[in-house]
């Protein structure tokens, strides 16, 4: 009988270990601190433009997906924001990675904190109003009205 209890205890311990140990290996970006973007799967090699996917990518990898280029890079390829020709000069690319000044002081300030921005849901034409604004220390915000209001997606203020 003692042997049966030992085996049962071992099996239960192993099952619990496996169930709790594997949780860290899920390929999801679900540790949102703000309003939350839950269970969004992203891959390092993926290209994303939607709010949830780009936010999850930033949260997971700390950088934008490879389909984003800065305004300077786009201009070097022939982009003219007034013409809305990004899709013609840089097919599949979106604008992102440029400094965001937070001049109105809407977003929280901290020593050394810098914000950057990227376009969301663009189709290669004109840029639109939707943006993600993110900091180097993990804050990720979404604005759908060109910086009038912000929704915290990841991080803690």
In the chain, what's the furthest Cα-to-Cα distance?
81
Beta carbons of 117 and 96 less than 8 angstroms apart? yes
Selected catalytic residue, list 72, 83, 146, 157: 146
Measured distance CA(30)–CA(39) in Å, rounded: 5
The token pair that represents 37 in the structure block: 């973007």
**At 53, is the secondary structure helix, strand, or coil?**
helix
**Active-site residue flag, 117:** yes
146 as an active site residue: the answer is: yes
**Dihedral class, residue 83 (left if φ above 0, else alpha if ψ from -120 to 50, else beta):** alpha
Quote the CA–CA distance of 61 and 97 in Å, as a whole number. 14
Please give the positions annotated as active site: 117, 146
């Amino acid at each position: 009988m003692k042997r049966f209890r030992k085996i049962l205890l071992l099996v239960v311990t192993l099952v619990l270990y496996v169930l709790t140990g594997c949780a860290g290996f899920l390929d999801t970006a679900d540790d949102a601190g703000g309003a939350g973007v839950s269970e969004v799967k992203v891959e390092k090699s993926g290209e994303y433009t939607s709010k949830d996917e780009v936010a999850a990518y930033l949260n997971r990898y700390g950088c934008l997906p490879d389909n984003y280029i800065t305004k300077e890079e786009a201009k070097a390829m022939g982009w003219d924001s007034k013409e809305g020709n990004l899709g013609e000069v840089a097919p599949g690319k979106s604008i992102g990675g440029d400094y965001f000044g937070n001049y109105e002081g809407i977003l929280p300030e901290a020593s050394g904190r810098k914000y950057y921005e990227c376009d969301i849901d663009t189709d290669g034409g004109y840029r639109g109003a939707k943006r993600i604004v993110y900091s180097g220390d993990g804050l990720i915000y979404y604005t759908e009205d060109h910086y009038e209001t912000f929704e915290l997606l990841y991080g803690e203020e």
